[in-house]
Amino acid sequence: MSDLTRRSALTAALLTGGTTAAFGCNAAPDDPPSKDEQFIMDAGLTKEEADCWSKVAEAAGAFFSLPELHPMDKQEVASAIHIVQNKLLGRPTYRKYLELAKASRPAEKPGEDD
């Protein structure tokens, strides 16, 4: 059984993005989501967030296809990609938190000021 790690997920995303970038394929807005987009939407991201996820993978694939100028570039870009991915992955949890916080507030009475 294969364990999914951030590194293997990034590799898969980079390969997908690299292939997409290499062939200039851009999904039309009404196209069904890719497998990766569907997985990420099943995890709670919206379609727009899944599109952003795919674009990050595309950008990473394009960057990693460039000639290397500095030995630290790959590590630094991979770290930056992880930051963006973590921000995207945190959005469903934050949305749920805001929803719960709003639901827990007592209803305001008309004429009451905060």
pLDDT of residue 4: 52
Contact residues for 64 (Cβ-Cβ < 8 A; gap 6+): 14, 18, 74, 77
Whether 111 shows a pLDDT value over 80: the answer reads: no
pLDDT of residue 43: 93
CA–CA–CA angle 90, 95, 98 (5° rounding)? 125
pLDDT tens per residue across span 4-36: 555 555 555 544 444 344 334 445 557 788 898
